[in-house]
């Protein structure tokens, strides 16, 4: 594939991961990169998806757009998270087939894995059980894209791949209290507590759960490599291949932000999935990707970006209310 000459459409290209992927694609020499974001196309409506394909005429679609959030948002909106993510994926893939798209790259979620998946998570374990309850509707909706792509390859010889990124973090992350994930939420909490002189912060759960975190620029590189080099039916994990407990994560973010107060655990709130850590050997074998960003260095960059952009972010989030 002469990748750099292809017309590439990125859904959700104005979002956190999408903006970094656009940067990465352009840095690799891709000249025809187009964004299908919600400001221009409502990808939950079939007519809008058809319009998008007919206007952009892409050769490759990289589907990042999703309705996402942390544990709280997933608990409050399980129905809409399921429906909106399911219909987006299903209709985008079906219309891609009908419009003879050369390749469809679907981004799934680590939430698709069973609640008690053996660590490290292997792609062959995806069907061992039901996902963790707080985010199962979202995880299953995204997982259905994998089923659809495998079925379409078998029946229609449609070329689609399914990637499973672990929890992302980095500059341009979502720091909105209503929908942020754990790292931006903790950074915001620690920075504000330090500045206000508070002597404690409250954190959900027990701190015992573990997570793996993947720097967003590494994720963008992994997706670009997969889009260019991989064309198979097997799902592929994308991650950094390590795990850290939430307790250790909170303590590290507190240290890096300069917050020295007490951490109070609210054990009445859920921990979510007990452990998350990926086997990332397929990504290295199939398209030569291996993460390289040190976790602490990535956190420092994220904290610095947040501090520099706090005022603009506060105005942006206030305007949404």
Active-site positions read 138
221 in Cβ contact with 175 (< 8 Å): no
DSSP string, 160-180: EEEEEE-EEESTT----TTT-
The token pair that represents 101 in the structure block = 């798209």
Closest CA to 20 of 211, 257, 214, 249: 214
- Pairwise CA distance, residues 55 & 180, whole Å: 33
Q: Is the dihedral of CA 145, 147, 152, 154 positive or negative?
A: positive
- Pairwise CA distance, residues 57 & 106, whole Å: 18
- Pairwise CA distance, residues 22 & 35, whole Å: 8
Closest CA to 139 of 209, 211, 86, 210: 86
Buried b (16+ CB within 10 A) or exposed e, 254-266: bebbebeeebebe
Distance of CA 72 to the CA centre of its chain: 17
């Amino acid at each position: 594939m002469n990748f750099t000459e292809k017309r590439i459409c990125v859904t959700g290209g104005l979002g956190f991961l999408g903006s970094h992927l656009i940067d990465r694609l352009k840095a690799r020499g891709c000249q025809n990169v187009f964004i299908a974001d919600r400001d221009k196309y409502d990808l939950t409506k079939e007519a809008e998806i058809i319009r998008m394909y007919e206007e952009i005429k892409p050769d490759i679609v990289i589907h990042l757009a999703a309705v996402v959030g942390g544990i709280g948002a997933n608990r409050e909106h399980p129905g809409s998270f399921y429906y909106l993510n399911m219909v987006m994926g299903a209709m985008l893939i079906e219309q891609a087939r009908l419009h003879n798209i050369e390749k469809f790259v679907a981004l799934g979620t680590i939430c698709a894995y069973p609640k008690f998946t053996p660590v490290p998570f292997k792609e062959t374990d995806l069907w061992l059980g039901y996902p963790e309850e707080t985010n199962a509707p979202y995880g299953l909706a995204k997982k259905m894209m994998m089923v659809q792509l495998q079925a379409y390859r078998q029946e229609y010889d449609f070329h689609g791949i399914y990637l499973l990124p672990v929890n992302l973090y980095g500059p341009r992350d979502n720091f909105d209290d209503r929908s942020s994930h754990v790292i931006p939420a903790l950074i915001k909490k620690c920075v504000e507590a330090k500045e206000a002189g508070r002597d404690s912060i409250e954190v959900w759960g027990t701190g015992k759960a573990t997570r793996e975190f993947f720097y967003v620029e590494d994720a963008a590189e992994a997706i670009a490599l997969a889009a260019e080099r991989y064309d198979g039916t097997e799902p592929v994990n994308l991650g950094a291949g390590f795990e850290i407990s939430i307790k250790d994560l909170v303590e590290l973010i507190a240290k890096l932000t300069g917050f020295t107060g007490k951490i109070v655990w609210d054990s009445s709130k859920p921990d979510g999935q007990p452990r998350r850590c990926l086997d990332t050997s397929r990504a290295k074998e199939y398209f030569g990707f291996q993460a390289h960003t040190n976790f602490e260095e990535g956190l420092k960059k994220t904290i610095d970006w947040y501090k520099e952009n706090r005022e603009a972010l506060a105005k942006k989030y206030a305007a949404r209310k």
